[in-house]
């Protein structure tokens, strides 16, 4: 750095002659590859390499600092949401187990593992596990419950002694499980339980899956490697002026925008699908925050105990028919004496079962086969993050919906935000990459990959393969959730078919969308989530540009000039 130390002097009038004398003793270094200048230079090729390593590291650090708040919001809400869901599932699991303890004591000990397994599967489903299925989990629960109900409630005088509990017992249980779908001992209640849970849990499950993918997108963008061509452009923008002794001059805004958009073209390509993801996150959170009794996740989980109670009551009321059918298929079971449990089996209780405070249900006669009523029809407080026990699922979702909307255009505007951090001092002249000018004369191109092929400051060939894969995964999940939630615009699809185009659901990503607008419509919520079009397709009801875009976090986009 000896040349640079000789070159850089305080730029004052009384030292102008000294600066000129220093430059007169310097010659152009023929080995320079980036800061090439016909006149004298303070830099060497080794200094250029050092500059390139430094500027790439500095840019990545700035990107991480800008995305820190967004990453913290996503990670923090994901953790708080999972803690709240875990608390809710645990509470309702204990409440359901208390039903069997108080109303069906003959089943209680063997039913507890079945109840725990069912609610564990519900928790996995809500957490967004791709291979989880509510239907199979509920069917497995009732399939395992049937042998217990058949022997201990419908036919308490039959069974196997301890010496017989081996292969014969296992075979008989397997026969009961195989017969259960045809016998339908629990009536329509297993199907009603699946329907109730599916409707109420679909928004919570979709939110979990999108939060997980949002975190994956942020991690991928933080780890992106800036290309060597990008490094050359950054060096020319930030350090080539230093090689000529101009340490106070700032790069022109247009130069910075062109170079930053070229460096971050793969990240900017995430702008449109990310904007749709934020809209969907906001809508899902708002749905959970304003859910009615019909689709409340909390009330649906609380109602599991009622569905189970109704199912067992149905089996008791149709006991003779069920027994006759089973004996035809599986054969009669040998009678045995079971210790004093039958008398307590026909005791379904009225009123509420044991709650979280240990209150016991009222005593009810053996013939009062009546439905257990839920404890409350209102959302109850749950344990949230950081020990805030008053944070309910609705309050948590409401807070997140209000916060996430500020980051809708984050990836589309990241290049401009990075440039704004470089333009802190207002000047009448700027550095064009080659010389000091009054304004940038080059053409400022948009951030799309197609437009970046005409970037006058650097060569942009392909996007990062990792980010390209993340974009495809994001678009695929968005499309899948739009279909699952029923948010696909049927009117648009029908209109497209009438125009002769191939059938396309509105959630597909659009490569020709305007990245600066985030490909977001300003109409209804469904259009906001699913806007975007395929290359070469005629747009159906193209959205007008927003009148005023909310300011991005921490910084606003500078004017391009």
CA-atom Rg of the chain in angstroms:
34
In a domain, 335, yes or no: yes
- Full domain range(s) for residue 356: 81-207+328-392
Whole-angstrom distance, CA of residue 272 vs CA of residue 269: 7
Whole-angstrom distance, CA of residue 229 vs CA of residue 308: 64
Residue 476's pLDDT is what? 94
Residue 27's pLDDT is what? 56
Task: Check: CB of residue 215 under 8 Å from CB of residue 75.
Answer: yes
In a domain, 131, yes or no: yes
Cα angle 395-401-405, degrees, rounded to a multiple of 5 = 160
In a domain, 480, yes or no: no
Can you say whether the dihedral through the CA atoms of 315, 320, 325, 331 is positive or negative?
A: positive
Whole-angstrom distance, CA of residue 386 vs CA of residue 383: 9
Residue 462's pLDDT is what? 76
Task: Check: CB of residue 297 under 8 Å from CB of residue 495.
Answer: no
- Show the tokens assigned to 36: 């090439």
Cα angle 227-228-230, degrees, rounded to a multiple of 5 = 65
- Show the tokens assigned to 190: 């297993």
In a domain, 382, yes or no: yes
In a domain, 198, yes or no: yes
- Show the tokens assigned to 501: 């185009």
Bridge-partner residues for 158, per DSSP? Answer: 335
71 CB burial (10 A radius; 0-12, 13-18, 19+): middle
DSSP 8-state code for residue 348: P
Residue 383's pLDDT is what? 37
- Show the tokens assigned to 370: 């009546």
In a domain, 487, yes or no: no
For the chain, report the end-to-end CA distance as a whole number of angstroms: 33
Can you say whether the dihedral through the CA atoms of 431, 434, 439, 445 is positive or negative?
A: negative
Residue 40's pLDDT is what? 78
- Number of domains comprising the chain: 1
In a domain, 299, yes or no: no
Can you say whether the dihedral through the CA atoms of 211, 216, 219, 225 is positive or negative?
A: negative
DSSP 8-state code for residue 542: P
Residue 390's pLDDT is what? 36
Distances in Å between the alpha carbon of 545 and those of 171, 395, 548?
A: 68, 32, 9
Q: Which helix (H) or strand (E) holds 437?
A: strand 436-437
Task: Check: CB of residue 272 under 8 Å from CB of residue 446.
Answer: no
In a domain, 446, yes or no: no
Give pLDDT < 70 ranges for the chain: 1-30, 130, 157-169, 292-295, 333-391, 422-427, 489-561
């Amino acid at each position: 750095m000896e040349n640079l130390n000789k070159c850089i002097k305080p730029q004052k009038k009384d030292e102008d002659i000294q600066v000129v004398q220093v430059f007169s003793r310097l010659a152009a270094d023929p080995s320079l590859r980036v800061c090439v200048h016909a006149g004298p230079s303070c830099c060497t090729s080794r200094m250029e390499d050092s500059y390139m390593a430094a500027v790439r590291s500095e840019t990545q650090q700035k990107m991480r600092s800008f995305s820190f708040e967004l990453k913290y919001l996503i990670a923090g809400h994901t953790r708080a949401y999972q803690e709240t869901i875990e608390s809710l599932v645990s509470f309702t699991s204990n409440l359901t187990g208390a039903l069997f303890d108080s109303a069906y004591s003959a089943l209680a000990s063997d039913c507890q593992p079945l109840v725990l397994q069912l609610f564990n599967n519900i928790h996995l489903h809500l957490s967004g596990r791709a291979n989880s299925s509510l239907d199979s989990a509920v069917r497995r629960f009732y399939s395992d419950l049937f042998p217990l109900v058949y022997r201990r409630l419908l036919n308490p005088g039959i069974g196997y002694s301890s010496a017989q509990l081996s292969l014969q017992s296992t075979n008989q249980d397997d026969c009961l499980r195989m017969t259960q779908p045809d016998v339908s001992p629990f009536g329509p209640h297993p199907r009603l339980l699946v329907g109730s849970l599916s409707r109420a849990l679909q928004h919570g499950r979709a939110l979990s899956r999108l939060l997980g993918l949002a975190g994956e997108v942020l991690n991928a963008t933080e780890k992106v490697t800036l290309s060597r061509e990008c490094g050359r452009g950054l060096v020319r923008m930030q350090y080539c002026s230093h090689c000529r002794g101009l340490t106070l001059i700032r790069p022109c805004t247009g130069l910075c925008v062109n170079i930053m958009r070229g460096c971050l073209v793969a990240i900017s390509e995430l702008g449109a699908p990310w904007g749709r993801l934020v809209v969907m996150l906001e809508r899902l959170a708002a749905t959970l925050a304003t859910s009615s009794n019909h689709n409340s996740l909390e009330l649906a989980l609380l109602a599991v105990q009622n569905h189970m109670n109704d199912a067992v009551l149905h089996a008791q009321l149709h006991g003779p028919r069920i027994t006759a059918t089973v004996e035809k298929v599986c054969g009669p079971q040998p009678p045995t004496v079971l210790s004093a449990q039958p008398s307590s089996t026909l005791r379904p209780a009225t009123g509420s079962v044991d709650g979280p405070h240990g209150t016991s249900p009222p005593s009810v006669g053996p013939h009062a086969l009546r439905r257990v009523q839920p404890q409350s029809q209102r959302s109850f407080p749950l344990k949230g993050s950081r020990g805030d026990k008053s944070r309910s699922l609705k309050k948590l979702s409401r807070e997140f919906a209000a916060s996430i909307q500020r980051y809708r255009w984050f990836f589309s505007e990241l290049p401009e935000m990075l440039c704004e951090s470089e333009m802190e001092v207002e000047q009448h002249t700027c550095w064009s990459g080659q010389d000091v000018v009054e304004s940038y004369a080059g053409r400022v191109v948009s951030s799309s990959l197609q437009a970046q092929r005409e970037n006058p400051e650097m060569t942009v060939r392909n996007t990062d393969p990792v980010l390209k894969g993340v974009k495809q995964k994001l678009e695929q999940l968005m499309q899948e959730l739009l279909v699952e939630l029923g948010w696909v615009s049927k009117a648009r699809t029908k209109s497209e078919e009438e125009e002769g185009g191939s059938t396309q659901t509105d959630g597909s990503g659009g490569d020709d969308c305007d990245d600066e607008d985030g490909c977001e419509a300003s109409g209804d919520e469904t259009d906001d989530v699913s806007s975007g079009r395929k290359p070469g397709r005629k747009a159906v009801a193209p959205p007008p540009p927003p009148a005023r875009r909310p300011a991005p976090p921490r910084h606003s986009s500078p004017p391009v000039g």
